[in-house]
């Protein structure tokens, strides 16, 4: 079929923290667009929204999207541009939103594709409300974007965090100790919950279920009474005690600043207190940013390809202001405004949490 003379111009950026399947998702968008009956020009903005603000970009070639399905990170680079600062001028007094709109219009873009998490999609929705054609793709290892059952990057991160717990199991079997594996997740516990389940953790602590340190100590003693020589805790970096959960934001911030010099993270605080409560040695392992890195696993490669293809379909149909999502096993889309500003939390009363309790996992709350 002969291609139309009209040039379809699409901008693309990756924003926020990196993850394993960003390149795979961009590939899904690009390959689908190139296979259409349109002449397509894709412009990649460098380092997230910063590239859109300051006109830092490069025109991509079809070859740029070859051989990147298995490559982690993002070939465009990324940066964090907090949504709450988007309406504030930069250090030179530049209006960030107007600058992004100016770049978009200067390049005569038909659509902007935003691959990012909650903050990035809030900005995508803002630009959509400002009159730009935007399509969002849900990226985050935290799996906390409202409206989608799964985000790309999540399953790859689960695999890495689970492997860390698996590795701890082999040394745990040799020592009578308590081992803590700290998993990423400041506000939600999806990653810790899934990795804890998959890795056979005995105790899982997530932000949505405030813990009682004495209940955790009781769970450890119960295992000792049953002849278990070790205990493994999967702890989200945002895990919080019942006492701290009852504090105001101001009080909590003050307490954390006070403890910052003593404890590098919550896991070390929990470990220190548990040592005193149980008399057992506690060791802490923090996989950290390894959870964002490496090659995307097969699930994420397939999901990213599907999400990217659907995003391209929205562009070709001129259906903008949408966020591509996974519902059950089907890829579909919702309004950006339906998701923007909302987090998808773990429900403490969900069947998932209940099933974990049924197999004997403690959440440190009862």
| Average pLDDT per consecutive 10 residues, the chain (366 residues; last block may be shorter) | 71 94 98 96 97 97 97 94 90 95 98 96 97 98 97 98 95 88 97 98 98 97 93 97 94 85 92 93 95 96 98 98 98 97 96 98 98
Tokens of 140: 């985050």
275 is known to lie in a ligand binding site: no
As annotated, the residues of the chain forming the CATH 3.40.50.460 domain(s) are 154-292
Q: What tens digit of pLDDT does each residue of 85-110 get? A: 999 999 999 999 999 999 999 999 99
H-helix or E-strand spanning residue 313:
helix 298-316
What whole-number distance in Å separates Cα of residue 95 and Cα of residue 89? 5
Write down the pLDDT at residue 175. Answer: 83
Q: In 3-state terms, what secondary structure has residue 64? A: helix
Q: Which residue has the tokens 């659907």?
A: 310
The pairing of beta strand 330-335 with beta strand 322-327:
antiparallel
283 is known to lie in a ligand binding site: yes
Under a CB-based contact definition with an 8 Å cutoff, are residues 34 and 8 in contact?
no
DSSP notation for 196-264:
HHHHT-SEEE-TTS-B-HHHHHHHHHHHHHTT---EEEEEETT--BHHHHTS-HHHHHHHHHHHTTT-S
Residue 56 CA to its chain's centroid (Å) = 25
The dihedral built from the CA positions of residue 73, 342, 205 and 357, taken in this order, carries a sign that is negative
H-helix or E-strand spanning residue 39:
strand 39-45
Write down the pLDDT at residue 34. Answer: 97
Write down the pLDDT at residue 259. Answer: 81
Active site residues: 142
What whole-number distance in Å separates Cα of residue 117 and Cα of residue 49? 13
Architecture category of domain 154-292 in CATH: 3-Layer(aba) Sandwich (3.40)
20 is known to lie in a ligand binding site: no
100 is known to lie in a ligand binding site: no
CB environment 233-265: b (16+ within 10 A), e (fewer): bbbbbbbbbeebeeeeeeeeeeeeeeeeeebeb
237 is known to lie in a ligand binding site: yes
Closest by CA position to 271, among listed 174, 176, 181, 172: 181
Provide φ and ψ at 169, rounded to 5°: -60, -40
Helix 298-316 vs helix 154-172: angle between axes, to the nearest 10 degrees? 170
* Residue 206, C-beta contacts closer than 8 angstroms, at least 6 positions apart: 185, 188, 189, 192, 193, 236, 238, 239, 346, 363
48 is known to lie in a ligand binding site: no
121 is known to lie in a ligand binding site: no
166 is known to lie in a ligand binding site: no
pTM for the structure as a whole: 0.94
Q: What is the rounded radius of gyration, in angstroms, for the C-alpha atoms of the chain?
A: 23
Write down the pLDDT at residue 347. Answer: 98
238 is known to lie in a ligand binding site: no
Matching CATH number, 8-152+296-338, of 3.10.450.50, 3.30.420.40, 3.30.70.1150, 3.40.50.450: 3.40.50.450
Helix 190-199 vs helix 351-358: angle between axes, to the nearest 10 degrees? 30
What whole-number distance in Å separates Cα of residue 155 and Cα of residue 195? 9
Residues in the chain, how many? 366
């Amino acid at each position: 079929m002969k291609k139309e003379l009209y040039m379809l111009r699409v901008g693309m950026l990756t924003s926020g923290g990196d993850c394993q399947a960003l390149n795979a998702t961009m590939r899904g968008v690009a390959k689908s667009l190139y296979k259409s009956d349109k002449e397509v020009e894709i412009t990649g903005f460098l380092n997230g929204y910063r590239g859109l603000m300051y006109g830092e970009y490069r025109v991509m070639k079809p070859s740029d999207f070859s051989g990147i399905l298995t490559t982690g990170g993002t070939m465009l680079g990324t940066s964090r541009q907090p949504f709450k600062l988007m309406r504030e001028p930069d250090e030179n007094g530049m209006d960030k939103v107007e600058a992004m709109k100016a770049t978009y219009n200067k390049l005569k873009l038909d659509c902007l594709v935003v691959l990012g998490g909650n903050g990035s999609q809030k900005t995508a929705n803002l630009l959509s409300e400002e009159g730009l054609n935007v399509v969002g793709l849900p990226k985050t290892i935290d799996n906390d974007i409202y409206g989608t059952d799964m985000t790309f990057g999540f399953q790859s991160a689960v695999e890495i965090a689970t492997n860390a717990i698996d590795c701890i199991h082999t040394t745990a079997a040799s020592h009578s100790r308590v081992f803590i594996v700290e998993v990423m997740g400041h506000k939600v516990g999806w990653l810790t919950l899934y990795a804890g389940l998959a890795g056979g953790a005995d105790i899982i602590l997530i932000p949505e279920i405030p813990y009682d340190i004495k209940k955790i100590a009781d769970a450890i003693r119960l295992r000792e009474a049953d002849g278990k020589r070790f205990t493994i805790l999967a702890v989200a970096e945002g895990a919080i005690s019942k006492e701290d959960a009852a504090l105001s934001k101001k009080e909590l911030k003050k307490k954390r600043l006070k403890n910052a010099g003593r404890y590098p993270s919550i896991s070390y605080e929990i470990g220190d207190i548990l040592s005193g409560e149980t008399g057992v040695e506690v060791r802490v392992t923090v996989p950290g940013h390894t959870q964002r890195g490496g090659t995307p696993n097969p699930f994420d490669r397939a999901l990213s390809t599907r999400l990217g293809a659907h995003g391209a379909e929205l562009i070709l149909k001129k259906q903008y202001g949408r966020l591509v999502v996974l519902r059950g096993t089907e890829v579909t889309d919702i309004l950006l405004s339906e998701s923007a500003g909302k987090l998808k939390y773990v429900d403490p009363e969900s069947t998932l949490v209940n099933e974990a309790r049924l197999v004997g996992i403690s959440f440190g709350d009862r």
